[in-house]
Amino acid sequence: MTRKVLLLPGDGIGPEITDQAARLLGACQTAGLDIDVEKALVGGAAYDAHGEPLPAPTLEKARAADAVLLGAVGGPKWDAVEDLSKRPEKGLLGLRKHLGLFGNLRPALLYPQLAEASSLKPELVSGLDIMIVRELTGGIYFGHPRGTEERDGERVGYNTYVYGEAEIERIGRVAFEMAQKRGGKLCSVDKANVLEVTMLWRDVMERLAPEYPDVELSHMYVDNAAMQLVRAPKQFDVVVTGNMFGDILSDAAAMLTGSIGMLPSASLNESGQGMFEPCHGSAPDIAGRDLANPLAMMLSVAMMLRYSLGETALAERIEAAVGRVLDDGLRTADLADDSARAIGTRAMGDAVLEAFAQQA
């Protein structure tokens, strides 16, 4: 059966890196993958064209797709949009919410070739392989009440950090199962010394633990987790946490691997449908200049093949191709120590495609 893939390039460097992903999908089709590829607008690009960051036709196409590949959204161009509900980021958050993509997998994997590019000493990061499991459709990002209003003559802004037991349990199960498939260690990150909502979070994780006797569960406060990530990151295997803590910790973890330009992510719902995107943002400062690293996006294609399309062999072929170009010493500017020798987005895409073809 032909499966449907929707490309949402978005803003900033999104279109450039999505082009490289589209070429890679073409190579997969040549290798026998039976997919239909469509494109639609999201984020600032959609706002400019239709006045909405998530136009109804885009959402419909996303619902109908087996998997969505998203570039990045946002940029200073839309900072002046006063209505927060029309900001590019709302396009992304709307997709996550409407598709029920509660399970966000953010691997922080160090390619050995890039140990020198890490912000930490090579011995602290060599062999680093962490999986951050971030809850993506709840918590303070979506809690009500929220807003800004006038109280006693001053403006007040407020958000609500809320999780129900069922929401915690379902992300907990994703994380426990992930730990079973990996090193058997799960660290749940909370702020249970201060926030009731995360006391409940910790309780639920504890309640689930006996069902996964092969997983060693530990707990850590988020401030300590931030410190441990930059002090001794290899102590972590799987980390599970809520939406906002996961947003912050995953950026920190990404940098340990040399560049945030390397890290893909998967966001899955209960039926296995997924959206796949690089962890980095739209990088407006380098947009349109053939400078962006397309590897996180190309590795997101690999995650899509693995998690939503069940095409493990093709996923592995892409990952091996990326390893190969790094072995060959090819680096985009974010990874290169000698920027004069850095190659561009398209040249990096060419190199991955070539390495991919050679593995046939």
Contact track, Mg ion, 246-285, x by CB under 5 A: -x--------------------------------------
Cα(319)–Cα(298) distance, integer angstroms: 9
Q: Is 251 a catalytic residue?
A: yes
Closest CB to Mg ion among residues 37, 248:
248
66 touches ligand IPM by CB under 6 A: no
Phi, psi torsion values for 15, nearest 5 degrees = -60, -40
Question: Smallest gap, in angstroms, from Cβ of residue 3 to Mg ion?
Answer: 28
| Minimum CB distance to Mg ion, residue 248 (Å) | 8
Q: Which is nearer to ligand IPM, 135 or 247 (CB)?
A: 247
Among 21, 29, 22, residue whose Cα is nearest residue 3: 29
CA distances from 40 to 15, 147, 161, 326, 334 (A): 11, 30, 32, 32, 28
Q: Which is nearer to ligand IPM, 14 or 233 (CB)?
A: 14
Which among 223, 285, 327, 328 is annotated as catalytic?
223
Out of 6, 25, 69, 92, the residue judged to bind ligand IPM by CB under 6 A: 92
For residues 199 to 238, the per-residue mask of contacts with Mg ion, x marking binding by CB under 5 A and - elsewhere, is ----------------------------------------
C-alpha to C-alpha distance for 10 and 281, rounded to whole angstroms: 10
Write down the least CB distance from residue 106 to Mg ion, Å.
Answer: 9
Asked if 247 touches ligand IPM (CB under 6 A), the answer is: yes
CB of 213 to ligand IPM, least distance (A): 33
Grouping H, G, I as helix, E, B as strand and the rest as coil, residue 133 is strand
Strand partners, 107: 131
In the set 11, 163, 191, 237, the catalytic residue is: 191
Residue with tokens 């950026």: 251
**Which of residues 12 and 258 has its CB atom nearest to ligand IPM in the complex?**
12
Contact partner at residue 89 from Mg ion, ligand IPM, none, CB < 5 to 8 Å by partner kind: ligand IPM
Residue 254 sits in the site that holds ligand IPM (CB under 6 A): no
Per CB under 6 A, does 143 bind ligand IPM?
A: no
Q: What is the dihedral of CA 142, 8, 37, 345, to 10 degrees?
A: -130
CB neighbours (10 Å) of residue 30? Answer: 11
Q: Residues 6 or more apart from 295 whose CB is under 8 A from it?
A: 261, 262, 322, 332, 348, 352
Site residues (CB under 6 A) for ligand IPM, limited to 171-190: none
Closest distance to ligand IPM from the beta carbon of 246 (Å): 8
- Residues 296 and 334: beta-carbon distance below 8 Å: no
Task: Please confirm, yes or no, whether 11 is among the known catalytic residues.
Answer: no
Residue 89 near ligand IPM by CB under 6 A: yes
Active-site option among 19, 190, 247, 334: 247
Confirm whether 247 is a catalytic residue.
Answer: yes
The residue behind tokens 């053939």 is: 290
Q: How many residues form the binding site for ligand IPM (CB under 6 A)?
A: 5
- Rounded least distance, CB 217 to ligand IPM, Å: 25
* Active site (annotated) includes residue 97: no
Please measure the distance between the N-terminal and C-terminal CA atoms of the chain and give it in whole angstroms: 23
Nearest CB to Mg ion, comparing residues 247 and 311: 247
E-strand ranges in the chain read 3-10, 35-39, 67-72, 103-109, 129-135, 147-151, 154-158, 185-190, 216-221, 238-241, 264-268, 274-278
Here the tokens at position 352 are 């991955």
**DSSP-derived secondary structure letter, 155:** E
Q: Which residues are catalytic?
A: 141, 191, 223, 247, 251
Q: Which residues bind Mg ion (CB under 5 A)?
A: 247
Q: Which residues bind ligand IPM (CB under 6 A)?
A: 74, 89, 92-93, 247
